[in-house]
Amino acid sequence: MSPRHPAQVIVLGFAAAILAGTLLLTLPTSRVGPGGAGFLEALFTATSAVCVTGLTVVDTPAYWTGVGQVTILALIQIGGFGIMSFASLLGVLLARRMGLRSRISTAAETKSTGIGDVRSILVGILRTTLLVEGVTAVILAGRFHLGYGRPPAESVWLGVFHAVSAFNNAGFALFSDNLTGFVGDPWICLPVAGAVILGGLGFPVLFELRRHFRYPRKWLMTTKLVLSGTLVLLVLGTVFITAVEWSSPATLGPLPPGERVLAGFFQSTMTRTAGFNSVDIGQLHPVTLLAMDVLMFIGGGPAGTAGGLKITTFGVLFFILYTEISGGNAVNVFGKRLPRSVHRQAISIVLLAGGLVITATMVLMLITDFGLDRILFEVVSAFGTVGLSTGITAGIPSVGQVILILVMFAGRLGPVTLASALALRSRPLQYEYPKERPLIG
């Protein structure tokens, strides 16, 4: 029996893409040296790429051949674009039509308001993706060639790969030390950070900014929540990380003041679910790791390439809390009232996400010797599809790596599918039970 619920279709679509990517990465042509990659290494890498996470158990530039790297890049692009969106776009381009089921699944994945505008949304996503990735790739390629003397062909490849990885918030890099070699280079760090921020805003926000950039009063609540939340989290994250690590000899301490601020901003941006790092994450202070846990758990904007709970979910919870503290009766956000169904959805997502992170962390603590701060960071990074790591991923036993695979998969699809499922399960009741108030606190 074929799946009918959009959430089921999305989950199976991502699973199929991961399986296909795993099979491609196990081919001998994908791995450097004799023989193909191990199944677990291929599965972990494919899951990380499709779920646009960036966690790795092998050294990407040293372990994978050009074929393997192209495969990873394709998986990142497909995963960031959205499996159902990508499949529907192919259908539009090849057959110039979409079936009703494809429209419904794509609408659920892209958070469209209706199934009639799916075609225009897909075209808009494609144009936005190519524009941002193209501009970023040109800047990076030029810098690699002019600033570091890389050959033209290699510079173009490096520019394209890191541009796609950045906009899709994946964090895969073609350098063994990620981007730590460019910690003080604004021509590398700022374009990558800019692409990450744009990808993390989400396509609905980007589309509305294009239409009503000069008229903030016309912005929907989602756009206002995402923009204000992104600005606040970026600033707070930059200030906190820079302040805590300012004098650390293992991270920001050896850098000039301007480069310290740049590195702090870059790492704050990367907690928006992109796993690039310009400093050694394993050398960060435990307090910094905990703060980054919070930022990674919150994530970016909905219906984009970011992961985590999403800023909108966190914003809803914040205004619920504010309303309770201030003694209000209704939760109002930017002059609009939130439906109670949204309260329940946000609370449900947070509780389930928290339960998943806590459970995975406890299991990994039982089977490894790593400390709580490193394990929690790894799990939250996997759930938020961030990809930042303290360097323990490859040292985790096979069972633990499988757990991280499941966490990455749930983190990429959980909030989307759960929100869709909760919304579609809503049905009016013909009766209500009597009210009774339990003691709280």
**DSSP codes joined into one string, 386-406:** -----S-GGGS-HHHHHHHHH
Q: Give the pLDDT band of residue 93 (cuts 50, 70, 90).
A: very low
With 80 as the cut, is the pLDDT of residue 240 above it?
yes
Read off the pLDDT of residues 412-435 as tens digits, 9 standing for 90 and up.
877 656 555 555 555 666 777 887
Q: Give every CB contact of residue 29 below 8 A, 6+ residues apart in sequence.
A: 65, 67, 68
With 90 as the cut, is the pLDDT of residue 152 above it?
yes
For residues 196-218, give the mean pLDDT: 86
For residues 76-95, give the mean pLDDT: 61
Q: Which range has highest mean pLDDT (165-179, 197-211, 338-352)?
A: 165-179
pLDDT at position 216 is 86
Read off the pLDDT of residues 98-138 as tens digits, 9 standing for 90 and up.
454 454 445 544 555 554 466 677 777 888 889 999 999 99
Instruction: Phi first, then psi: give them for residue 270, nearest 5 degrees.
Output: -70, -20
Among the ranges given (47-51, 81-85, 145-149, 421-425), the one the predictor scored with the smallest mean pLDDT: 421-425
DSSP code, position 414: H
With 60 as the cut, is the pLDDT of residue 94 above it?
no
Q: Which residues pair with 337 in a beta bridge?
A: 332
Q: Which has more pLDDT, 214 or 386?
A: 386
Read off the pLDDT of residues 255-304 as tens digits, 9 standing for 90 and up.
999 999 999 999 999 998 888 999 999 999 999 999 999 999 999 888 77
pLDDT at position 256 is 96
Report the distance separating Cα 178 and Cα 279, nearest Å: 9
Calculated CA dihedral for residues 351, 353, 354, 358, nearest 10 degrees: 140
Whether the CB-CB separation of 203 and 169 falls below 8 Å is answered with: no
Whether the CB-CB separation of 194 and 272 falls below 8 Å is answered with: no
Report the distance separating Cα 258 and Cα 236, nearest Å: 18
Of 355, 378, 385, the closest CA to residue 52 belongs to 385
CB environment 270-306: b (16+ within 10 A), e (fewer): bbbbbbbbbbebeebeeebbebbbebbbbbbbbbbbb
With 60 as the cut, is the pLDDT of residue 2 above it?
no
3-state per-residue secondary structure call for 324-370: HHHCCCCCEECCEECCHHHHHHHHHHHHHHHHHHHHHHHHHHHHCCC
Whether the CB-CB separation of 30 and 36 falls below 8 Å is answered with: yes
Q: Give the pLDDT band of residue 348 (cuts 50, 70, 90).
A: confident
pLDDT at position 416 is 54
pLDDT at position 111 is 53
pLDDT at position 95 is 42
For residues 138-157, give the mean pLDDT: 97
Of 238, 234, 244, the closest CA to residue 285 belongs to 244
* pTM, rounded to two decimals: 0.88
Question: Strands 336-337 and 332-333: what pairing?
Answer: antiparallel
Q: Give every CB contact of residue 139 below 8 A, 6+ residues apart in sequence.
A: 159, 187, 191
Residue 241's SS3 state is helix
Q: Give every CB contact of residue 123 below 8 A, 6+ residues apart in sequence.
A: 92
Read off the pLDDT of residues 36-61 as tens digits, 9 standing for 90 and up.
899 999 999 999 999 989 999 999 99
Tokens (6 digits) for 184: 């003080």
Instruction: Phi first, then psi: give them for residue 193, nearest 5 degrees.
Output: -65, -40
Q: Give every CB contact of residue 131 below 8 A, 6+ residues apart in sequence.
A: none
Report the distance separating Cα 231 and Cα 197, nearest Å: 10
pLDDT at position 104 is 47
For residues 76-80, give the mean pLDDT: 88
For residues 135-148, give the mean pLDDT: 97
Q: Give every CB contact of residue 69 below 8 A, 6+ residues apart in sequence.
A: 60, 61, 161, 174
Residue 388 CB: number of other CB atoms within 10 A? 27
Q: Give every CB contact of residue 54 below 8 A, 6+ residues apart in sequence.
A: 48, 165, 170, 171, 172, 274, 275, 276, 385, 386, 387, 388
DSSP code, position 29: G
CB environment 107-123: b (16+ within 10 A), e (fewer): bbbbbbeebeebbebbe
Cα–Cα–Cα angle for 235, 147, 187, rounded to 5 degrees: 15
For residues 242-251, give the mean pLDDT: 96
For residues 349-377, give the mean pLDDT: 94
pLDDT at position 92 is 46
Whether the CB-CB separation of 353 and 383 falls below 8 Å is answered with: yes
